[in-house]
């Protein structure tokens, strides 16, 4: 069942991705024009063009991303004692790393920097990574866990402190497969992942009875005072894509009972 969920999620996102939707709607409008159905083409083309222009001109994607990123904040004071630091996969760039035979980080690379900072602060606790491959069609024996292992050692974390789970393909599997590998089942763990991804991650952890303390990193949205007309479509789409995907993920995970609440809070 989990395998079917994973495959369907990838296929459905291929259709619901905002960038893909814009391209598909433009293609559909073009087909309607070739079929001499001008009115039908206009009904598709005009709203699509309007949305595209707004996305070009202004970071409206911030309005979707900002509520996710402000749901959880870093602790004002770090706890005195924890039982481990959990780092979720996604910061490593698996395909590029394999293709170029190197270790590359992606947009979530701040997760590894945070892991290094926290590992230095808590010098005796294990650093626990969970992540395999979230790619639907990429056949390789190398996993995100393998890349993360190299990166975490490279940033100065002793190898004997690492616990690596490398089979999970999504956030739900991160915690399900990690649960039995935690040093203490009822322990307290700092959770490092992207800020927009933190609500869903905490919700799943709570559903699995894993006690986590949020440590969000990797912010995308501008705060209100910094939003401006800047004509940067690519930058706006890079914020819109993960935000829209995350809202869909929160909803689907809640409907399927994988998270403790639709929008968990601190």
Mean pLDDT (whole number) for 165-171: 88
Q: How far apart are CA 263 and CA 266, in angstroms?
A: 10
Is the pLDDT confidence value at 173 over 80? yes
- Total-model pTM: 0.88
DSSP 100: H
The pLDDT score that the predictor gives to residue 197 is 95
CA dihedral over 107, 113, 119, 121, signed as positive or negative: negative
Length of the chain: 266
Return the number of other C-beta atoms located less than 10 Å from residue 80's C-beta: 6
Is the pLDDT confidence value at 101 over 70? yes
Is the pLDDT confidence value at 204 over 90? yes
The pLDDT score that the predictor gives to residue 205 is 96
Whose tokens are 């209100």? That residue is: 224
Is the pLDDT confidence value at 136 over 60? no
Q: Tell me if 86 sits within 8 A of 130, measured CB to CB.
A: yes
Is the pLDDT confidence value at 260 over 90? no
State the average pLDDT for the chain.
Answer: 89
Map out the domains of the chain with their CATH numbers. Answer: 10-57 (no CATH), 68-217 (3.40.50.620)
Q: Tell me if 246 sits within 8 A of 200, measured CB to CB.
A: yes
The pLDDT score that the predictor gives to residue 73 is 95
Confidence at 262, pLDDT banded by 50, 70, 90: very high
Residues 6+ apart with CB under 8 A from 33: 41
Angle between helices 2-16 and 233-255 (to 10 degrees): 150
The pLDDT score that the predictor gives to residue 6 is 58
Note the pLDDT tens digit of each residue in 20-49. Answer: 999 999 999 999 988 889 999 899 999 999
The pLDDT score that the predictor gives to residue 5 is 66
CA end-to-end span of the chain:
31
Note the pLDDT tens digit of each residue in 71-94. Answer: 999 999 999 999 999 999 888 887
Is the pLDDT confidence value at 142 over 80? no
């Amino acid at each position: 069942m989990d395998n079917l969920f994973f495959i369907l999620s990838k296929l459905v996102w291929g259709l619901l991705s905002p960038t893909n939707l814009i391209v598909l709607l433009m293609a559909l409008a073009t087909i309607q024009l070739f079929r001499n159905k001008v009115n039908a083409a206009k009904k598709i083309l005009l709203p699509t063009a309007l949305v595209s222009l707004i996305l070009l001109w202004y970071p409206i994607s911030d309005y979707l991303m900002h509520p996710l990123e402000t749901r959880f904040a870093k602790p004002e004071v770090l706890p005195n004692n924890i039982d481990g630091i959990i780092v979720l996969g996604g910061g490593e760039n698996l395909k590029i790393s394999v293709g170029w035979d190197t270790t590359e980080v992606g947009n979530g690379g701040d997760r590894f920097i945070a892991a290094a900072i926290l590992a230095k602060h808590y010098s005796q606790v294990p650093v626990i990574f969970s992540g395999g491959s979230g790619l639907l069609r990429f056949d390789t024996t190398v996993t995100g866990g393998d890349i993360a292992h190299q990166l975490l050692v490279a940033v100065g974390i002793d190898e004997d402190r690492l616990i690596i789970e490398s089979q999970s393909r999504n956030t739900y599997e991160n915690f399900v497969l990690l649960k039995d590998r935690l040093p203490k089942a009822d322990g307290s763990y700092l959770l490092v992942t992207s800020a927009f991804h933190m609500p869903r991650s905490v919700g799943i952890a709570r559903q699995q009875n894993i006690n986590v303390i949020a440590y969000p990193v990797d912010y995308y949205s501008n705060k209100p005072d910094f939003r401006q007309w800047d004509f940067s479509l690519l930058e706006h789409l890079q914020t819109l894509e993960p935000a829209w995907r995350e809202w869909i993920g929160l909803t689907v995970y809640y409907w399927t009972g994988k998270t403790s609440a639709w929008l968990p809070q601190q």
